[in-house]
Amino acid sequence: MPEKDKNTQEGPDVRSNLIKVNMGGDTMFVDPDQYKPQLDHQRELKRMHRKPKNPQPQEWKTEDYSKHKIADYKPFNFVDGEGVRCSLYVSGCLFDCPGCYNLAAQNFNYGFPYTRELEDRIIKDLSQSYVQGLTLLGGEPFLNTWVCLKLINRIRKEFGHTKDIWSWSGYTWDELQKETPDKREMLSKIDILVDGRFMNDLKDLTLQFRGSSNQRIIDVPKSLEAHKVVIWDKLQK
Ligand code: SF4
């Protein structure tokens, strides 16, 4: 039987080769080779097969939820869109997709506050000639429009359209057309929208920049002009 933890000192969650687990509210340190967690398979299956939430138009308002917090900032990466990019992960999302790739960032209180210092750093990083643009993801960027619009407006002021702006969203294109003015303003100022919830049963890890096949990479200026969804012309799969 594992021994109940009596160590009250602060420290890492791993003691030599033992791992930390919670058993009936008690913290235990156990041998990972001998520990077999008792999973409630029915509950787990049910959890993974439920659907993401579907809000009514304008039901979720940024000002009711956003704490202007940032889950992470990753400069100079190659995975969040075309070219070298600086990625800002905002905190807070209400869609609650089963299999969400960033569970911690669903919490609006997670992370650290958006500050002028961070904004200055992002602008400095974006000024590098080899950086193609900014990516907004999360969490849900369209439930953090105060932060995103502040940054988008500054980028347009400093760089015009020489840097592109991509955003991921759990909202679909059609849903955003019926959304609050701040969300529609943000949509009108970005270049690419990757839209829609992550759907576990449509998961496909071979897709370019998306996790499930319902999601689309949308060319925003062309779509707004055509009044219909126009897919990014560099889409490979
Ligand atoms: S929309 Fe994205 S961040 Fe939000 S729950 Fe779904 S996968 Fe997670």
pLDDT, mean of residues 21-49: 64
d(CA 151, CA 119): 7
> Regarding the domain delimited by 62-226, which CATH topology (the fold level of the hierarchy) does it fall under?
TIM Barrel (3.20.20)
Calculate how far, in angstroms, residue 100's C-alpha sits from the geometric centre of ligand 1: 5
Q: Give 91's pLDDT tier (boundaries 50, 70, 90).
A: very high
Return mean pLDDT, the chain. 89
Q: What is the pLDDT of residue 50?
A: 84
Residue 54 has pLDDT above 50, yes or no: yes
Q: Which atom of ligand 1 is nearest to the CA of 96?
A: 5
| Of the candidate ranges 31-35, 128-132, 192-196, 229-233, the one whose mean pLDDT is the lowest | 31-35
Q: Which atom of ligand 1 is nearest to the CA of 93?
A: 4
Calculate how far, in angstroms, residue 181's C-alpha sits from the geometric centre of ligand 1: 22
Residue 12 has pLDDT above 50, yes or no: no
Give the mutation target among 90, 197, 200, 209 for probing the ligand 1 site: most ligand atoms within 8 A of CB.
197
CA angle at 194 for the pair 235 and 177, rounded to the nearest 5° = 120
d(CA 31, CA 22): 13
User: Domain ranges in the chain?
Assistant: 1-49, 62-226
Residue 14 has pLDDT above 70, yes or no: no
Give the mutation target among 60, 88, 106, 143 for probing the ligand 1 site: most ligand atoms within 8 A of CB.
106
Calculate how far, in angstroms, residue 94's C-alpha sits from the geometric centre of ligand 1: 8
The kind and range of the H/E element at 150 are helix 145-159
89 class by beta-carbon count within 10 Å (0-12 exposed, 13-18 middle, 19+ buried)? buried
CB 171 within 8 A of CB 142: yes
Q: Give 39's pLDDT tier (boundaries 50, 70, 90).
A: low
Take atom 2 of ligand 1 and give the residue whose Cα is closest: 170
Residue 14 vs residue 123, higher pLDDT:
123
Residue 75 has pLDDT above 80, yes or no: yes
Residue 227 has pLDDT above 90, yes or no: yes
Q: What is the pLDDT of residue 139?
A: 96
| Of the candidate ranges 14-18, 40-44, 145-149, 225-229, the one whose mean pLDDT is the lowest | 14-18
Q: What is the pLDDT of residue 41?
A: 67
Per the structure block, which two tokens stand in for 29?
A: 């340190």
Give the mutation target among 91, 95, 193 for probing the ligand 1 site: most ligand atoms within 8 A of CB.
95
Q: What is the pLDDT of residue 17?
A: 67
